[in-house]
Each structure stands twice: as C-alpha cells, then as structure tokens.
C-alpha cells in the first residue's frame, strides 16, 4: 500500500493487486475514484499511443498498469487539456513507465527513483540532454525480464539503449526500427530474445554500434544492413543466424568490428568484404562458410588486429603465404580447421602477433626457424597437422610464450630432443604442452 492522488488515500500496489477474478483473469481491484479520473484524462491525452480500442482499466496489461501508475503520480489534468497533444515530458514518462512494467521493474536489481513524482531524468539508468529529453538508457545487468514494449519507440531522441544481460523474451518491436532514427548504440546481448533481424533495421541510419549476441536471433542477415553507413561495430555471436553474408555488408565502410561467431552462416564470403578497409576485428569462427576457399579479398584488410576464421568447411587450399604479409597489424590469427595444405613460409609473420592458431589443417613441412622473431607470442597452436622435423631452438626466443600445442597429430615431428633454449623456457614459464591429449608443464614433455 502507498499514498497517492495527493494523499487522497492509500492505493494498493498494482503488482500485488493483480489477482484472478471470478473468470480466472488477472485484474487490478480497489482502484480509488481519484485514480480513475486521472486515468481517464490521461487516456484522452495519450490516445495516439494507446492500443486501438483503448484499454481496460482493471487489466494487468503492462501498458494499462503504466497508465494507472501515471494516474497516481502525474499532476492533475483538467478538462481544458483534453485533446491537446501531450508535452514531451508526458510522452516520455509514459514510454518509460511502460518499459518499467513490461520488463518487470519490481524485480530489477536497481529501480531507484523510478515512478517517482520528480523528473524522470533522475530515474536510475537514464541520461537526459539539456532539454530534459531522454537520450540514454543503461539498464545492463539490471535483471530485466518480460518483453521490450513497443512504447519504447516514443523516445525519438534516444541515442543509446543498453538492456543487455537480462531475461528479456520475445522480439524487438518493429516500431523501434521505424522511429528511433537518432539511435546510435543498441546493446541487447545475453537475453532470451527469439526473433529475426527485421528488414526495418535499415531505418536505424544513425546506428554505429549493435550487439545482439547470445540470443536466439534466427534467419538471415537482411541486405538492409548496407544502409547503415555509419555502422562501426556489429556483433551477433552465439545466435542462430543462418543464410549467407549479404554482399551489401561491403557498403558499411566505417566498420571496425564484425563478429558473427558460432552461428550457421553458410556460403561464400562476399568479395565486397574487401571494401571494409577500417576493419580491425573480423570473427566468423564456427559457421558453415564454404565450400570455396577463403577469398583473397580478406587479405586487403590491412588494419586487422584480430582475424578468426576457424572451424569452417572451406575448400582445401594452400596456406596463403603470399597474402598474409599484408596484415602487418595482426595480434591474433586463428585459422584452425579451415582445410589449409602446403607449407608455412616465414614471410607471413606479423611481428606484433600474440596468438597464432593453425591446428586441425593439413599443413606439412617443418616449423620455420623464423618463428623465433615473433617475440610477443603468448600462444602457438600447431597440433593436428602433418609437420615434420624438430622443434626449432628459436622457439626459446619467445619469452612471453605460455601455451604451445604441437600434439596430437604431427606424427613425423621429432620430439625426442627438446632444444636447450626451449627447455629453459618450459621451466621458466611453465609453458603448457599437449601430448596424448594431456597437458604438461615444466620439464621436457611436449
């Protein structure tokens, strides 16, 4: 119970009052007359934002609960205001109150100031501009549940929306794509959304960052992504994406990170990806790309620091020794299980590389001694290939090395004589080695 309607009387808490009526339908009982009058006045003022046909006052529908809540906390609206378009404050307050009830605000980790009579700019997680318009919502890790309400689209000045790491279900309302034209960042990762990315995504033409990872995002990536010319960051890891990469992705020339790790994307990588010359991170690990080989257009992306194409069924092709030297900024390169053959030539080494994974291919020949020039290397994985010869003593130059994987596989690799330089590194760094699927540290086990 709490006081409202200018302390007219104590009004029951709506969450508690949602009880089944004689027909088994959840309803809100004991609504005082002052709240009913204000509810009716607000219904007229906000009519264009309410469902067609209106609302039932005692319904536990989140939108109705929002309107009832506003009837408790909003200044009295007399008949003279009926038919007048609502002020920006009133519209935004209604939208935010709908968000609260639709996402089970009574269960949030922090709901400080929400639904209070003061300025909604003081509500937890909100940022307003100088005009008092909501431009940011940051409710990440706040235990949001329920669904994303369509009324969120009322916040047309919104630039940043972070509702990640919760239990949100359902879809992203299409109304958001049509009206949030100022939105620059949308983060909804780690929820329980089940939806497809609408073709309406092309309407978010101010968007620079998008992260929908760890949701059940089905279907193909729409070609309308090519309309997002300011997009810099897109990530949808561990979703259920299928289809192919649209060629229109090449229109997003400001992209710096593109990550669709662990999905079901198939077909060829479009050559248009070579237009993304600002790209620094490209992660397509564990998809169904192929069967054509990895396109050489990939190696024109000279700003790449992270490149991961591992575990895709590409067609067998020679190790791209002639192309990799272009990627001089690489820190991480993961080409595990991509059907590479042939030998490794030393010319491709990027001196700043910290992680190199080439396991699970059919690479033959010896490990080049020039590997000792990769002095920043922390992890080196060469297991499950057809390498031969011995471990070069130059591996002892890799003073930062922590992980070295050369087994299983590589049956012709001579592990009988570990170079003294490498043996010293094993002792000093506790470098992890694999043999017979067991990790060893220290000594001469490899």
Tracing tokens 């470098």 back to the chain, one arrives at: 431
Interacting residues of 409 by C-beta distance below 8 A, sequence separation 6+? 359, 383, 384, 385, 386
Looking at every residue in the chain, the average pLDDT score rounds to 88
- In this predicted structure, the answer to whether residue 72 has a pLDDT above a threshold of 80 is yes
Residue 172 has pLDDT above 90, yes or no: yes
Is the whole-model pTM more than 0.75? yes
Residues near 162 by Cβ (< 8 Å), separated by ≥ 6? 137, 138, 139, 140, 185, 187
Q: How far apart are CA 191 and CA 214, in angstroms?
A: 7
The answer on pLDDT for 148 being more than 80 is yes
Distance of alpha carbon 328 from alpha carbon 89, whole angstroms: 52
306 or 294, higher pLDDT: 306
Residue 130's contacts (CB-CB under 8 Å, 6 or more residues apart) are none
Distance, CA of 86 to CA of 11 (rounded, Å): 26
- Smallest CA-to-CA distance from 164 within 181, 148, 149, 180 is with 148
More confident residue, 350 or 177: 177
* CA proximity to 244, closest of 290, 312, 199, 279: 290
Over residues 80-102, the pLDDT tens digits come to 444 443 467 899 999 999 999 99
Highest-confidence segment of 199-203, 289-293, 421-425:
199-203
Q: What is the percent of the chain with per-residue pLDDT over 70, rounded to a whole number?
A: 91
Residue 197 pLDDT exceeds 90: yes
CA distance 446 to 441: 9
The arithmetic mean of pLDDT across residues 386-398, rounded, is 91
Helix (H) or strand (E) holding 412: strand 412-414
20-24, 79-83, 362-366, 397-401: lowest mean pLDDT where?
A: 79-83
Closest CA to 346 of 372, 326, 379: 372
Q: How confident is the model over 312-363, as pLDDT tens digits?
A: 999 888 888 888 888 999 999 999 999 999 999 877 677 889 999 999 999 9
> What integer is the mean pLDDT of 386-400?
91
Q: Between 388 and 348, name the one with better pLDDT.
A: 388
Tell the residue number behind the tokens 């279900």, with chain if given.
Answer: 169
The pLDDT score that the predictor gives to residue 443 is 35
Q: How far apart are the first and last CA of the chain?
A: 69
pLDDT of residue 1: 45
d(CA 336, CA 363): 11
DSSP H helices, 225-296, are none
Q: HEC states along 306-348?
A: EEECCCCCCCCEECCCCCHHHCCCCCEEECCCCCEECECCHHH
Give the span between the Cα atoms of 417 and 405, in whole angstroms. 17
412, two tokens? 């012709």
Residue from 425, 432, 429 nearest 406 by CA? 432
Smallest Cα–Cα separation from 101: which of 13, 4, 172, 231?
A: 13
Look at residue 202 and tell me whether its pLDDT is greater than 70: yes
Which carries the bigger pLDDT value, residue 233 or residue 403? 233
CA dist., res. 375 & res. 365, Å (int): 22
On whether the CB atoms of residues 31 and 64 are closer than 8 A, the answer is no
In sequence order, the 6+-apart residues with CB closer than 8 A to the CB of 225 are 201, 202, 231, 234, 246, 248, 249, 252
Residue 445: band (very low, low, confident or very high) from pLDDT cuts 50, 70, 90: very low
Residues 174-178, mean pLDDT to the nearest whole number: 94
């Amino acid at each position: 119970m709490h006081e409202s309607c200018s302390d007219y009387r104590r009004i029951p808490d709506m969450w508690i009052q949602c009880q089944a009526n004689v027909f088994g339908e959840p309803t809100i009982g004991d609504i005082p007359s002052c709240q009913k009058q204000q509810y009716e006045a607000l219904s007229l003022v906000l009519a264009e934002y309410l469902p067609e046909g209106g609302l039932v006052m005692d319904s536990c529908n989140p939108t109705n609960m929002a309107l009832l809540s506003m009837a408790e906390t909003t200044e009295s609206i007399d008949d003279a205001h009926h038919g007048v378009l609502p002020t920006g404050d009133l519209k935004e307050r209604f939208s935010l109150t709908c968000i609260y009830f639709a996402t089970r605000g009574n269960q949030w980790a922090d709901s400080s100031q929400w639904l209070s009579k003061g300025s909604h700019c003081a509500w937890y997680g909100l940022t307003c501009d100088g005009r008092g318009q909501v431009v940011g919502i940051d409710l990440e890790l706040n235990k949001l549940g329920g669904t994303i309400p369509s009324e969120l689209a009322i916040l047309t000045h919104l630039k940043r929306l972070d509702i990640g790491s919760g239990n949100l279900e359902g879809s992203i309302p299409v109304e958001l794509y049509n009206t949030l034209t100022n939105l620059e960042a949308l983060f909804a990762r780690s929820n329980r959304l089940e939806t497809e990315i609408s073709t309406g995504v092309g309407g978010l033409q101010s968007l620079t960052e998008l992260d929908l990872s760890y949701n059940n995002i089905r279907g193909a990536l729409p070609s309308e992504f090519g309309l997002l010319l300011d997009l810099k960051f897109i990530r949808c890891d561990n979703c259920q994406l299928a289809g192919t990469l649209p060629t229109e992705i090449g229109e997003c020339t400001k992209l710096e990170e593109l990550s669709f790790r662990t999905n079901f994307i198939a077909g060829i990588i479009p050559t248009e990806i070579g237009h993304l010359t600002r790209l620094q991170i490209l992660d397509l690990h564990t998809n169904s790309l192929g069967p054509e080989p990895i396109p050489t257009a990939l190696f024109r992306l000279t700003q790449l620091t992270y490149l991961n194409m591992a575990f895709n069924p590409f067609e067998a092709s020679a190790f791209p020794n002639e192309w990799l030297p272009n990627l001089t900024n690489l820190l991480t390169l993961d080409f595990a299980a991509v059907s590479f053959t042939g030998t490794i030539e030393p010319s491709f080494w990027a001196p700043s590389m910290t992680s190199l994974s080439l396991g699970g291919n059919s690479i033959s020949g010896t490990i080049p001694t020039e590997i000792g020039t990769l002095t920043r290397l922390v992890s080196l994985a060469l297991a499950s290939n057809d390498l031969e010869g011995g471990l070069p003593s130059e591996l002892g130059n890799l003073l930062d090395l922590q992980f070295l994987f050369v087994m299983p596989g590589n049956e012709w690799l001579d592990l009988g004589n570990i170079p003294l330089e490498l043996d010293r590194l094993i002792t000093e760094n506790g470098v992890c080695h694999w043999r017979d699927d067991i990790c060893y540290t220290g000594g001469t086990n490899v």
